[in-house]
Structures are given as structure tokens and as C-alpha cells.
Amino acid sequence: MARPVLGIDQGLIMEMHQIRYFLKAGETLNFTRAAEQCGVSVPSLSRAIRQLEEELGGQLFRRERHLTHLTDLGRLMLEHFSVMSSAADAAKREARDYTRLAGSRLKLGIFASIGASVLTGYLTALRDQAPDLELHIWEANCEELEGALLSGEIDIALTSSPELDERIRVVPLFREAFYISFAAGHRFSEMTAVSMRELEGEDYIKRLHCEFPSNLARLGVAKPYNAVNVRYVGEREDWIQSLVRAGLGCAVMPENLPLLPGLEMRPLVDPEVFRQISMATVAGRPHSPAVAAAVAATQHYRWPDCRAG
């Protein structure tokens, strides 16, 4: 049953479908055509208009054989109800735009080594949550993300930093193991997993801003760079992988990072090392509708299963 939408005075309540039927009849001056355009039967339309007339206390139409005319009351109500209908339509549009976040903007910070499939999967969930949201993606290392979040340069961040400022609130999403990557034909290819002690003496390509050492430190394990021969240090993931593929060294990488063809990976063990991926916002800062949608999307997306620990 339609809900009442207007009370002019006590005891006078109208419903939106009555007003809609009346407006269409007033536009066409033909009850049959009005009923067709409203998708109802002529008796249903006539009954609704009759109920409206009873509420208003007077006739809205004068019907003479094949001619239908608006009465003086009908013309007066047509003007008022047209304004009401336009306002109701505008309210519906604004409510729809609000829920879809049309015109809203979200600045999302991400770190470079997050897996592309993980990121696009989450962004798909966010699009489903807020189809009209304008998303700006800002890529930086985790330390820069932390500063940008606190200063308001970004609204929300995906981070893997093991330690964050106390003003930042985190929602853990998933854990991701670290793997050793190497070129085809390397001795590690014969292993199902690579023990940390097997890295000793290996030529190594160090990924700048890699969280691997800090996560080892969290486990109370010494930095791995004392045991390997660091040959190259780089920041861009594609360059690092190209060096590994060329046989210039091995490199530690997170398990969901996309690999160039020709590269292989094995999980690191003894100990297993992982990083925690979290959604970060500033504690005490009210969530905008866009931020609320981004947080809600984290609950709808199925994050990768944890293979570590």
C-alpha cells in the first residue's frame, strides 16, 4: 500500500499515486489514455481520483460524454500538485545521487607493491558500493602514506606498515607471505620452499621501501642483507623483476605481486615472514560518505586467504 505523502490539515491525507493519476488525467484529459500511461486499469484510476475528490471536498473533473474538463478546483489543484510532484521527483533524484555518491571524490593512498589483482578486486567492490564515486589513487611508500593521511592530503589508505602513528586507526584486511623470486633454472626451482639460511651468499637485488626487513625485525630475526650479496638496489618493481629475470640476482617479493613471464617464486620458511595489509583512516576524523563507502567495501570484498603463519 502506498504511504501517505501529504497532510493539508487534520483528516486530509493524500497518497502519491492518487496525485500521479490526477496529474496524468489532467494532462491528457482522457481517463483511458491516462490509465494506460500510468500502467493501471481505468477503474483503478477513476477510483483513486474519486478518493482524492472526497478528500478535497469537490469535483476535479467534469465528464461530458466523450469530453473531460478540469473544474476550477481541478485547475487549482493541478498547479499545486505539479509543484509537489516535481519536488518529490527532485527528492528521489537527490537521494539516489547521495546513495550512489554522485559528485563525491575519494583520495585513496596505496603502496606500490600491492598486488594488482587484489587492488582491482577491491576497487570493483567499491564501485558496486558507490557507482558514481570519483576516485583519485595516490601511490607512495608507506611512510609517505602515513604523513599524507595525517595531513589530509588523502582520505584513506591501504598500507602494509607494521607500525603507524597512534592517531591512525587500522582495519586489518589480510596477511600476505613473502616469497623469494628468481630466474628460471635457479637452484631454488628444485625446492618447494626456501629456508632463510639458503639465501646466504646469494646475489641479491634489494627492493627499496621493501617491508621485508621490518617484518623480520618484528619476529626478532636479523636483517637478511648481512647474509646476501646486495648487487643492485632499485625502486621500480618492473625494473627489479627484469633484473631478476636476467639472472642478476634474486629478490624477496610479496606473494600477490604480479610476476613478469620467466620468473619463479617459492615461499620463504624458517621462519615464515608475512606482512599485514590494512585499511587506514585517521582516528576521530568523521567519515565522509565516500570514506564510509570505502570502508564498507572492505567488508564486501573477499580478500586473499592468509598462507603465512
> What's the pLDDT tens digit per position in 95-121?
565 555 656 889 999 988 888 889 999
Q: Can you give the pTM of this predicted structure?
A: 0.62
Average pLDDT over residues 175-184: 93
Give the pairing of strands 263-269 and 12-15. Answer: unpaired
- Which among 279, 215, 222, 219 is positioned nearest to 253, based on CA atoms? 215
pLDDT digits (tens, 9 = 90+) for 234-252: 888 889 999 999 999 999 9
Torsion-angle region of residue 284: left (phi > 0), alpha (psi -120 to 50) or beta?
left
pLDDT in tens, 198-227: 988 999 998 877 766 665 666 556 666 668
How far apart, in Å, are the Cα atoms of 267 and each of 45, 237, 252, 264, 308? 71, 19, 10, 11, 9
Cβ(267)–Cβ(182) under 8 Å?
Answer: no
